[in-house]
Structure 1
Amino acid sequence: MEEVLNILFNPLPNAIMTLLTGLSLLYWIFSMLMGEGFDFGDSGLEFEGADVQDINTDADVDADHPEPSFFSKAMDYINIGKAPLMVLVTLFKFIGWIITLITSMTFDLSSYGWKSVLVLLPIFILTYFLMHFVTIPVVKLYKNVGYTGEEAQEFLGRTGKMKSSIQGQSIGSVEIIINKDVIRLNVQSADGSKIAYDDEVVIVNETENKKFYLVQKAINLNSF
């Protein structure tokens, strides 16, 4: 038992990843105890997590529209928007944790002291690319059980915060919260005006091809 604990918490990268993975485990345990579980859409099961919409908001633009932002492409690569966000976050932590444990034992990271934490950077990069392949069966599972997220018309009129800057015809992303679920949508500025990162916006319409939502700055006390 002592040897197992030593591997889990030594060196520092192992301890960090063990704690992060443990927090996700506690999240799911508390979710189950509180009666919140796995939301599989209309399948009768519930999955309470960070739900992300997957309805004509992918970054598959045609030649008549500008390319989506680098951030949107990066999120699409690991299938953000096609399964609940907390499921994907937990997978990311778990994969990174396993790679960290293997790396620490293979290269004896404990001999590097606190500097061993720097190994997490390449591990996170490797985990990111692995997520593209690991999430494919997860996305298929949610699709097969009928997970479709919220209906498109329910987004109109909702407010959220920008997760990128947009102007003119550029494409960015907005994050909204519905029933404690975090949903990310691809958006454009309704009138072409500049909207900065973290600005609060209102979803006012959709583009004619139904691929993006149109947003404008929300009017509140922070606007003055």
Structure 2
Amino acid sequence: MTEIWNILFNPLPNAIMTLLTGMSLVYWLFTMLLGDGFEMGTDADIQFEGADVQDVDMDADTQADLETEQHVEPSFFSKAMDFIYVGKAPMMVLVTLFKFISWIVTIASSLVLNLAAFGWKSVLILIPVFILSFFLLHYVAIPFVKLYKNVGYAGEEAHEFIGRLGKMRSTIQGEQLGAIEVVINLDVIRLNVKSKDGSLLSYGDDVIVTNQDPNKKFYIVQKDINLNNI
């Protein structure tokens, strides 16, 4: 038991990752005790305020049309978030998986590389560990993404999107369809949208959701005017 305890908290990188992973474990324990667990906030066949998984995750045809009509290169950050499926699974699930992967890799590295001999400098191993864990998360998260997709995940619970602020993740004008990201309780939700009056909305613009298409295929947005963009 003493040997296991020593591995978990020595050297410093192990202690850091053990504490971070432990915090996630405590979070999930409290979540389970409160009765939330991994519930999606709705049944698998219930739509989220009219936005089912097809609304949140654009189908292949819509995506192809957008790519044909728009040649806007997403930012590096947006690509990175897409790579680890942000918006396709709850943020806390992804964060917990990332911590767990980093914890395992850190402990394995400490044993193989004898990090204890480097003292406090051993904490630098966390830099490559986090980078490796980021790429591993892409593959480890796949089963969870499929699970949440099958139950129609669009956030922790059903949300009313009208009136919410979002950020454009494509450039649209006229009748073009695009996508925005809305952040609700740390969850990033992506919605199909169209410009309210056909005016140009550029990638990265702050917009507000004003209405929904009668067929519930997309939302109507307009540019949000605030002190930052006046």
User: Is the TM value for this pair above 0.5?
Assistant: yes
Conserved? CA contact 2:56–2:192, under 8 Å: no
**Which of 149, 152, 171 is matched with 1:147 structurally?**
152
Conserved? CA contact 2:89–2:145, under 8 Å: yes
- Paired residues for 1:73-222 under 5 Å: 73-144=79-150, 146-149=151-154, 154-159=160-165, 174-177=181-184, 180=185, 182-185=187-190, 192=200, 202-204=208-210, 214=221, 216-217=223-224, 219=226
Conserved? CA contact 1:195–1:217, under 8 Å: no
CA distance in 2, matches of 1:95, 1:195: 33
CA distance in 1, matches of 2:223, 2:136: 36
Summarize deviations over 1:96-122 as a string: whole Å, max 9, x none: 100000000100111111111111111
CA separation of 1:206 and 1:12: change in aligned 2, threshold 3 A: farther
Question: SS at the partner of 1:15?
Answer: helix
CA distance in 1, matches of 2:13, 2:103: 9
Greater gyration radius: 2
TM-score, L = length of structure 1? 0.72
| Consecutive unaligned residues in structure 1, runs of 5 or more | 45-51
CA distance in 2, matches of 1:153, 1:42: 14
How far the C-alpha of 1:204 sits from its partner, in A, is 3.6
Among all aligned residue pairs of Structure 1 and Structure 2, give the percentage whose two residues are the same amino acid: 48
TM-score, L = length of structure 2? 0.71
RMSD of aligned residue pairs (Cα, Å): 3.9
CA distance in 2, matches of 1:172, 1:114: 45
Question: SS at the partner of 1:139?
Answer: helix
2:63 paired with 1:69: no
CA distance in 2, matches of 1:213, 1:127: 38
| Consecutive unaligned residues in structure 2, runs of 5 or more | 46-52
CA distance in 2, matches of 1:112, 1:90: 28
